[in-house]
Structure 1
Amino acid sequence: MSFIRKFYTSDTHFCHTNILTMQPRPFETIEQHDEHLIARWNAVVGENDVVYHLGDVAMGLNNAGRIRWIFSRLRGRKFLVWGNHDILRDGELHPTIAGLGWAARPEALMFVKDEGQHIVLSHYAQRCWQGRSKGAWHFYGHAHGRLPSEGRSRDVGVDVPDVDFTPRTFKELMKGMVDD
Protein backbone atom coordinates (compact mmCIF):
# COMPACT_ATOMS: atom_id res chain seq x y z
CA MET A 1 0.00 0.00 0.00
CA SER A 2 1.28 3.45 -0.88
CA PHE A 3 1.56 6.37 1.51
CA ILE A 4 -1.74 8.26 1.75
CA ARG A 5 -1.47 12.03 1.47
CA LYS A 6 -4.03 14.68 2.43
CA PHE A 7 -4.89 17.63 0.23
CA TYR A 8 -7.00 20.76 0.66
CA THR A 9 -8.84 22.83 -1.93
CA SER A 10 -11.86 25.08 -2.29
CA ASP A 11 -13.96 27.03 -4.75
CA THR A 12 -13.50 24.92 -7.86
CA HIS A 13 -16.81 26.26 -9.21
CA PHE A 14 -17.03 23.59 -11.91
CA CYS A 15 -19.60 24.48 -14.61
CA HIS A 16 -19.84 28.10 -13.35
CA THR A 17 -19.42 30.21 -16.48
CA ASN A 18 -19.61 33.54 -14.61
CA ILE A 19 -16.64 32.63 -12.39
CA LEU A 20 -14.38 33.31 -15.39
CA THR A 21 -15.09 37.03 -15.21
CA MET A 22 -16.04 37.42 -11.54
CA GLN A 23 -12.58 36.57 -10.15
CA PRO A 24 -11.30 36.67 -13.00
CA ARG A 25 -9.89 33.30 -13.97
CA PRO A 26 -7.58 33.03 -17.00
CA PHE A 27 -9.64 30.68 -19.18
CA GLU A 28 -11.60 31.36 -22.36
CA THR A 29 -14.38 28.85 -21.67
CA ILE A 30 -15.78 27.05 -18.65
CA GLU A 31 -14.92 23.74 -20.34
CA GLN A 32 -11.27 24.83 -20.56
CA HIS A 33 -11.42 25.91 -16.90
CA ASP A 34 -12.93 22.62 -15.75
CA GLU A 35 -10.45 20.50 -17.72
CA HIS A 36 -7.52 22.50 -16.35
CA LEU A 37 -8.71 22.02 -12.75
CA ILE A 38 -9.28 18.29 -13.32
CA ALA A 39 -5.78 17.91 -14.80
CA ARG A 40 -4.14 19.88 -11.94
CA TRP A 41 -6.07 17.82 -9.35
CA ASN A 42 -5.15 14.48 -10.91
CA ALA A 43 -1.50 15.51 -11.37
CA VAL A 44 -1.01 15.54 -7.58
CA VAL A 45 -3.78 13.40 -6.05
CA GLY A 46 -3.49 9.61 -6.09
CA GLU A 47 -6.42 7.18 -6.02
CA ASN A 48 -6.04 6.51 -2.27
CA ASP A 49 -5.20 10.06 -1.22
CA VAL A 50 -7.67 12.19 0.74
CA VAL A 51 -8.97 15.54 -0.52
CA TYR A 52 -10.85 17.97 1.68
CA HIS A 53 -12.90 20.28 -0.52
CA LEU A 54 -13.93 23.39 1.41
CA GLY A 55 -17.00 24.23 -0.60
CA ASP A 56 -18.40 25.67 -3.81
CA VAL A 57 -17.75 22.54 -5.81
CA ALA A 58 -19.91 23.45 -8.78
CA MET A 59 -22.46 25.85 -10.13
CA GLY A 60 -25.17 25.26 -12.67
CA LEU A 61 -26.44 22.48 -10.49
CA ASN A 62 -29.19 21.75 -13.01
CA ASN A 63 -26.42 20.19 -15.07
CA ALA A 64 -26.21 17.17 -12.75
CA GLY A 65 -24.87 14.79 -15.39
CA ARG A 66 -21.87 16.97 -16.21
CA ILE A 67 -21.13 17.58 -12.53
CA ARG A 68 -21.25 13.82 -11.78
CA TRP A 69 -18.97 13.16 -14.79
CA ILE A 70 -16.43 15.75 -13.58
CA PHE A 71 -16.55 14.41 -10.01
CA SER A 72 -16.02 10.82 -11.23
CA ARG A 73 -12.82 11.90 -12.95
CA LEU A 74 -11.27 13.42 -9.82
CA ARG A 75 -8.90 11.08 -7.99
CA GLY A 76 -8.89 10.43 -4.29
CA ARG A 77 -11.31 9.96 -1.44
CA LYS A 78 -13.19 13.23 -1.30
CA PHE A 79 -14.69 14.96 1.74
CA LEU A 80 -16.83 18.10 1.53
CA VAL A 81 -17.21 21.03 3.85
CA TRP A 82 -20.09 22.64 2.00
CA GLY A 83 -20.15 26.21 0.79
CA ASN A 84 -22.85 28.68 -0.18
CA HIS A 85 -23.11 27.35 -3.77
CA ASP A 86 -23.52 23.76 -2.55
CA ILE A 87 -26.81 24.38 -0.75
CA LEU A 88 -30.36 25.34 -1.69
CA ARG A 89 -32.05 28.54 -0.53
CA ASP A 90 -33.56 26.66 2.43
CA GLY A 91 -30.09 25.61 3.62
CA GLU A 92 -30.35 21.97 2.54
CA LEU A 93 -27.48 20.43 0.59
CA HIS A 94 -28.27 20.48 -3.12
CA PRO A 95 -29.31 16.97 -4.26
CA THR A 96 -26.71 16.98 -7.05
CA ILE A 97 -23.91 17.73 -4.58
CA ALA A 98 -25.33 15.36 -1.95
CA GLY A 99 -25.50 12.57 -4.54
CA LEU A 100 -21.82 12.68 -5.43
CA GLY A 101 -19.58 9.92 -4.08
CA TRP A 102 -18.27 11.66 -0.99
CA ALA A 103 -16.28 9.53 1.46
CA ALA A 104 -18.53 10.77 4.31
CA ARG A 105 -21.58 12.97 4.73
CA PRO A 106 -20.78 16.59 3.79
CA GLU A 107 -20.54 18.89 6.81
CA ALA A 108 -20.59 22.64 7.49
CA LEU A 109 -17.43 22.37 9.60
CA MET A 110 -14.80 19.67 9.91
CA PHE A 111 -11.92 18.95 12.29
CA VAL A 112 -8.94 16.98 10.98
CA LYS A 113 -5.43 16.13 12.03
CA ASP A 114 -2.54 16.33 9.57
CA GLU A 115 1.22 16.19 10.22
CA GLY A 116 0.33 15.94 13.92
CA GLN A 117 -1.47 19.29 13.76
CA HIS A 118 -5.14 20.07 14.38
CA ILE A 119 -6.90 21.89 11.55
CA VAL A 120 -10.37 23.43 11.53
CA LEU A 121 -11.91 23.36 8.04
CA SER A 122 -14.77 25.61 6.95
CA HIS A 123 -15.94 27.34 3.83
CA TYR A 124 -15.96 30.68 5.61
CA ALA A 125 -13.03 32.42 7.25
CA GLN A 126 -13.10 32.58 11.02
CA ARG A 127 -10.96 34.88 13.09
CA CYS A 128 -11.53 32.77 16.19
CA TRP A 129 -11.69 29.01 15.74
CA GLN A 130 -11.67 25.98 17.98
CA GLY A 131 -8.17 25.40 19.32
CA ARG A 132 -6.69 28.65 18.01
CA SER A 133 -5.10 29.47 21.36
CA LYS A 134 -3.71 25.93 21.51
CA GLY A 135 -2.01 26.02 18.11
CA ALA A 136 -4.76 24.73 15.80
CA TRP A 137 -4.74 25.83 12.16
CA HIS A 138 -7.72 27.08 10.14
CA PHE A 139 -8.25 26.57 6.40
CA TYR A 140 -11.13 28.24 4.56
CA GLY A 141 -12.37 29.15 1.08
CA HIS A 142 -15.05 31.56 -0.14
CA ALA A 143 -12.82 34.66 -0.15
CA HIS A 144 -11.13 33.95 -3.52
CA GLY A 145 -7.83 35.35 -2.26
CA ARG A 146 -9.32 38.71 -1.20
CA LEU A 147 -9.01 38.08 2.54
CA PRO A 148 -5.39 37.94 3.70
CA SER A 149 -4.09 35.13 5.85
CA GLU A 150 -3.90 35.83 9.54
CA GLY A 151 -1.59 33.80 11.75
CA ARG A 152 -2.53 30.14 11.37
CA SER A 153 -5.56 30.88 9.18
CA ARG A 154 -5.55 30.96 5.38
CA ASP A 155 -7.57 30.71 2.19
CA VAL A 156 -7.02 27.45 0.27
CA GLY A 157 -9.18 28.37 -2.75
CA VAL A 158 -7.98 27.37 -6.19
CA ASP A 159 -7.63 30.99 -7.30
CA VAL A 160 -5.17 31.96 -4.55
CA PRO A 161 -1.78 32.50 -6.30
CA ASP A 162 0.28 29.94 -4.35
CA VAL A 163 -2.47 27.34 -4.74
CA ASP A 164 -2.52 27.81 -8.53
CA PHE A 165 -5.68 25.77 -9.24
CA THR A 166 -4.18 22.69 -7.54
CA PRO A 167 -5.09 20.84 -4.34
CA ARG A 168 -2.26 21.42 -1.84
CA THR A 169 -0.88 19.54 1.17
CA PHE A 170 -0.68 20.93 4.69
CA LYS A 171 3.09 21.45 4.33
CA GLU A 172 2.63 23.34 1.07
CA LEU A 173 -0.11 25.55 2.52
CA MET A 174 1.68 26.41 5.76
CA LYS A 175 4.85 27.65 4.00
CA GLY A 176 5.27 31.32 4.68
CA MET A 177 2.51 31.47 7.26
CA VAL A 178 3.32 33.51 10.35
CA ASP A 179 2.38 32.19 13.77
CA ASP A 180 0.12 34.30 16.00
Structure 2
Amino acid sequence: MNKTFFISDTHFGHASLVAKGERRFNDITEMDERIIENWNAVVSDNDLVWHLGDFAVSNDADRIAEIFRRLKGRKRLILGNHDYDRPGVIKPMVAALSWDEEPRDIIETVAIGDRRLVLCHYPLRTWPGHKKGSYHFYGHAHGGLADFGNSRDVGVDLPDVSFTPRTFAKLIERLSSAEVGILETQSVAQVSP
Protein backbone atom coordinates (compact mmCIF):
# COMPACT_ATOMS: atom_id res chain seq x y z
CA MET A 1 0.00 0.00 0.00
CA ASN A 2 1.34 3.42 -0.98
CA LYS A 3 1.94 5.95 1.77
CA THR A 4 1.72 9.74 1.87
CA PHE A 5 4.45 11.78 3.55
CA PHE A 6 4.96 15.45 4.43
CA ILE A 7 8.07 17.57 4.85
CA SER A 8 9.12 21.19 4.48
CA ASP A 9 12.15 23.46 4.35
CA THR A 10 14.78 21.02 3.13
CA HIS A 11 16.75 24.00 1.74
CA PHE A 12 18.94 21.71 -0.36
CA GLY A 13 22.19 23.49 -1.22
CA HIS A 14 21.65 26.31 1.31
CA ALA A 15 25.24 26.56 2.56
CA SER A 16 24.69 29.59 4.81
CA LEU A 17 22.28 27.61 7.05
CA VAL A 18 25.19 25.35 7.95
CA ALA A 19 27.83 28.11 7.98
CA LYS A 20 25.79 30.19 10.45
CA GLY A 21 25.24 27.15 12.67
CA GLU A 22 21.48 27.02 12.12
CA ARG A 23 21.79 23.36 11.16
CA ARG A 24 24.37 21.20 12.91
CA PHE A 25 26.27 19.65 10.02
CA ASN A 26 29.92 19.97 8.99
CA ASP A 27 28.99 21.27 5.54
CA ILE A 28 26.10 21.51 3.07
CA THR A 29 27.00 18.19 1.42
CA GLU A 30 26.61 16.39 4.75
CA MET A 31 23.20 18.04 5.33
CA ASP A 32 21.95 17.26 1.83
CA GLU A 33 23.16 13.66 2.02
CA ARG A 34 21.53 13.14 5.44
CA ILE A 35 18.17 14.35 4.14
CA ILE A 36 18.46 12.14 1.03
CA GLU A 37 19.41 9.10 3.15
CA ASN A 38 16.59 9.69 5.66
CA TRP A 39 14.06 10.36 2.87
CA ASN A 40 14.92 7.19 0.97
CA ALA A 41 14.88 5.10 4.15
CA VAL A 42 11.13 5.70 4.62
CA VAL A 43 9.77 6.61 1.16
CA SER A 44 9.22 3.99 -1.56
CA ASP A 45 9.15 4.71 -5.27
CA ASN A 46 5.33 4.84 -5.50
CA ASP A 47 4.74 6.78 -2.27
CA LEU A 48 3.63 10.42 -2.40
CA VAL A 49 5.63 13.18 -0.69
CA TRP A 50 4.10 16.62 -0.19
CA HIS A 51 6.91 19.15 0.16
CA LEU A 52 5.58 22.33 1.78
CA GLY A 53 8.07 24.73 0.30
CA ASP A 54 11.67 25.89 0.24
CA PHE A 55 12.89 22.78 -1.54
CA ALA A 56 16.28 24.23 -2.51
CA VAL A 57 18.26 27.41 -1.98
CA SER A 58 21.13 27.13 -4.44
CA ASN A 59 22.34 28.45 -7.77
CA ASP A 60 23.59 25.01 -8.83
CA ALA A 61 20.68 23.74 -10.93
CA ASP A 62 22.52 20.55 -11.94
CA ARG A 63 23.22 19.58 -8.32
CA ILE A 64 19.62 20.26 -7.28
CA ALA A 65 18.30 18.24 -10.25
CA GLU A 66 20.57 15.35 -9.24
CA ILE A 67 19.34 15.52 -5.63
CA PHE A 68 15.74 15.53 -6.87
CA ARG A 69 16.38 12.46 -9.07
CA ARG A 70 17.88 10.60 -6.09
CA LEU A 71 14.82 11.17 -3.87
CA LYS A 72 12.30 8.32 -3.97
CA GLY A 73 8.60 8.81 -4.43
CA ARG A 74 6.24 11.02 -6.35
CA LYS A 75 6.92 14.58 -5.22
CA ARG A 76 4.47 17.49 -5.07
CA LEU A 77 5.40 21.03 -4.07
CA ILE A 78 3.52 23.78 -2.28
CA LEU A 79 5.64 26.78 -3.16
CA GLY A 80 7.59 28.54 -0.41
CA ASN A 81 9.29 31.93 -0.39
CA HIS A 82 12.66 30.46 -1.49
CA ASP A 83 11.02 28.70 -4.48
CA TYR A 84 10.46 32.04 -6.24
CA ASP A 85 12.87 34.34 -8.08
CA ARG A 86 10.48 37.22 -7.41
CA PRO A 87 6.77 37.45 -6.59
CA GLY A 88 4.79 35.23 -8.95
CA VAL A 89 7.86 33.89 -10.79
CA ILE A 90 8.99 30.39 -9.81
CA LYS A 91 12.74 29.80 -9.96
CA PRO A 92 13.45 28.05 -13.28
CA MET A 93 15.57 25.47 -11.42
CA VAL A 94 12.55 24.53 -9.25
CA ALA A 95 10.03 24.65 -12.11
CA ALA A 96 12.23 22.37 -14.25
CA LEU A 97 12.15 19.51 -11.74
CA SER A 98 9.92 16.51 -12.54
CA TRP A 99 7.20 17.14 -9.98
CA ASP A 100 4.30 14.66 -9.90
CA GLU A 101 1.98 17.62 -10.51
CA GLU A 102 2.49 21.30 -11.23
CA PRO A 103 3.78 23.11 -8.08
CA ARG A 104 0.97 24.86 -6.24
CA ASP A 105 0.87 28.37 -4.90
CA ILE A 106 0.01 28.91 -1.24
CA ILE A 107 -2.75 26.49 -0.12
CA GLU A 108 -3.84 22.97 -1.00
CA THR A 109 -6.53 20.91 0.74
CA VAL A 110 -6.19 17.12 0.65
CA ALA A 111 -8.05 14.21 2.20
CA ILE A 112 -6.24 11.72 4.40
CA GLY A 113 -8.83 9.01 4.88
CA ASP A 114 -11.84 10.87 6.23
CA ARG A 115 -9.76 13.78 7.55
CA ARG A 116 -9.29 17.14 5.85
CA LEU A 117 -5.75 18.54 5.74
CA VAL A 118 -4.82 22.05 4.64
CA LEU A 119 -1.26 22.42 3.37
CA CYS A 120 0.55 25.76 3.13
CA HIS A 121 4.14 26.91 3.33
CA TYR A 122 3.07 29.56 5.82
CA PRO A 123 1.43 29.02 9.21
CA LEU A 124 -2.22 30.07 9.33
CA ARG A 125 -4.16 31.13 12.44
CA THR A 126 -7.35 29.83 10.83
CA TRP A 127 -7.78 27.52 7.87
CA PRO A 128 -10.68 25.91 6.03
CA GLY A 129 -12.55 23.64 8.43
CA HIS A 130 -10.46 24.53 11.49
CA LYS A 131 -13.59 24.57 13.68
CA LYS A 132 -14.70 21.21 12.25
CA GLY A 133 -11.61 19.16 13.05
CA SER A 134 -9.51 19.75 9.95
CA TYR A 135 -5.71 19.82 10.23
CA HIS A 136 -3.12 22.29 8.96
CA PHE A 137 0.51 21.46 8.17
CA TYR A 138 2.99 24.22 7.33
CA GLY A 139 6.68 25.05 7.09
CA HIS A 140 8.55 28.38 7.00
CA ALA A 141 8.78 28.82 10.78
CA HIS A 142 11.72 26.41 11.31
CA GLY A 143 10.32 25.28 14.65
CA GLY A 144 9.82 28.84 15.90
CA LEU A 145 6.06 28.55 16.50
CA ALA A 146 4.25 26.28 18.93
CA ASP A 147 1.56 23.92 17.70
CA PHE A 148 -1.87 25.55 17.62
CA GLY A 149 -4.93 23.32 17.84
CA ASN A 150 -4.69 20.92 14.87
CA SER A 151 -1.93 22.96 13.23
CA ARG A 152 1.78 22.17 13.22
CA ASP A 153 5.12 22.82 11.55
CA VAL A 154 6.45 19.91 9.45
CA GLY A 155 9.86 21.44 8.71
CA VAL A 156 12.97 19.30 8.78
CA ASP A 157 14.22 21.28 11.82
CA LEU A 158 11.61 19.80 14.19
CA PRO A 159 12.89 17.06 16.52
CA ASP A 160 10.08 14.63 15.59
CA VAL A 161 10.63 15.27 11.87
CA SER A 162 14.42 15.03 12.14
CA PHE A 163 15.23 15.67 8.46
CA THR A 164 12.87 12.86 7.39
CA PRO A 165 9.49 12.89 5.60
CA ARG A 166 6.74 11.82 8.03
CA THR A 167 3.26 10.37 7.63
CA PHE A 168 0.08 12.11 8.73
CA ALA A 169 -0.36 9.64 11.61
CA LYS A 170 3.16 10.29 12.89
CA LEU A 171 2.82 14.07 12.60
CA ILE A 172 -0.48 14.32 14.48
CA GLU A 173 0.77 12.23 17.44
CA ARG A 174 1.98 15.29 19.29
CA LEU A 175 -1.06 17.43 18.47
CA SER A 176 -3.15 15.78 21.17
CA SER A 177 -0.97 17.57 23.70
CA ALA A 178 -1.09 20.94 21.90
CA GLU A 179 -2.99 23.74 23.54
CA VAL A 180 -6.37 24.29 21.94
CA GLY A 181 -6.24 27.46 19.91
CA ILE A 182 -9.11 29.42 21.41
CA LEU A 183 -8.41 33.07 21.96
CA GLU A 184 -10.04 35.05 24.73
CA THR A 185 -11.45 38.35 23.66
CA GLN A 186 -11.69 41.50 25.71
CA SER A 187 -13.45 44.72 25.01
CA VAL A 188 -11.33 47.85 24.82
CA ALA A 189 -12.76 48.94 28.18
CA GLN A 190 -11.35 45.81 29.84
CA VAL A 191 -7.78 46.35 28.64
CA SER A 192 -5.73 48.33 31.12
CA PRO A 193 -3.21 50.85 29.77
TM bin, normalised by shorter chain, reads over 0.9
**1:23 Cα deviation from its structure 2 partner:** 6.2
Corresponding position of 1:99: 96
Q: Pick the structure with greater CA Rg.
A: 2
Q: Kindly indicate whether residue 119 of structure 2 is the aligned counterpart of residue 140 of structure 1.
A: no
* 1:164/1:51 CA distance change after superposition, 3 Å: same
What is the SS of the residue equivalent to 1:176?
helix
The residue type equivalent to 1:29 in the other structure is D
What is the SS of the residue equivalent to 1:34?
helix
> 1:83-139: per-residue Cα shift (whole Å, max 9, x none)?
000001232111110110101111121111113211000000001001111111000
Structure 2 counterpart of 1:88, from 67, 85, 95: 85
The residue type equivalent to 1:99 in the other structure is A
Moved over 4 A (4+): none
Corresponding position of 2:188: none
**1:37 Cα deviation from its structure 2 partner:** 0.3
Corresponding position of 1:75: 72
The alignment-based identity, stated in percent, is 49
The residue type equivalent to 2:60 in the other structure is N
Corresponding position of 1:130: 128
Corresponding position of 2:170: 172
Matches of 1:165 and 1:176 in 2, distance apart?
Answer: 17
> 1:48-106: per-residue Cα shift (whole Å, max 9, x none)?
0000000000011x210000000000000000001000001232111110110101111
Matches of 1:22 and 1:122 in 2, distance apart?
Answer: 27
What is the SS of the residue equivalent to 1:165?
coil
CA RMSD of aligned residues (A): 1.2
Matches of 1:72 and 1:172 in 2, distance apart?
Answer: 26
For structure 1, which runs of at least 5 residues remain unmatched after alignment?
Answer: none
**1:6 Cα deviation from its structure 2 partner:** 0.3
Matches of 2:21 and 2:103 in 1, distance apart?
Answer: 26
Stretch moving more, 81-90 or 151-160: 81-90
Residues 121 and 139 of structure 1 are in contact (CA less than 8 Å); yes or no, is this contact kept in structure 2? yes
What is the SS of the residue equivalent to 2:175?
coil
**1:22 Cα deviation from its structure 2 partner:** 4.7
Matches of 2:162 and 2:126 in 1, distance apart?
Answer: 27
Matches of 1:90 and 1:166 in 2, distance apart?
Answer: 29
Residues 19 and 27 of structure 2 are in contact (CA less than 8 Å); yes or no, is this contact kept in structure 1? no
Aligned length: 177
* 1:154/1:23 CA distance change after superposition, 3 Å: farther
**1:160 Cα deviation from its structure 2 partner:** 0.6
What is the SS of the residue equivalent to 2:171?
helix
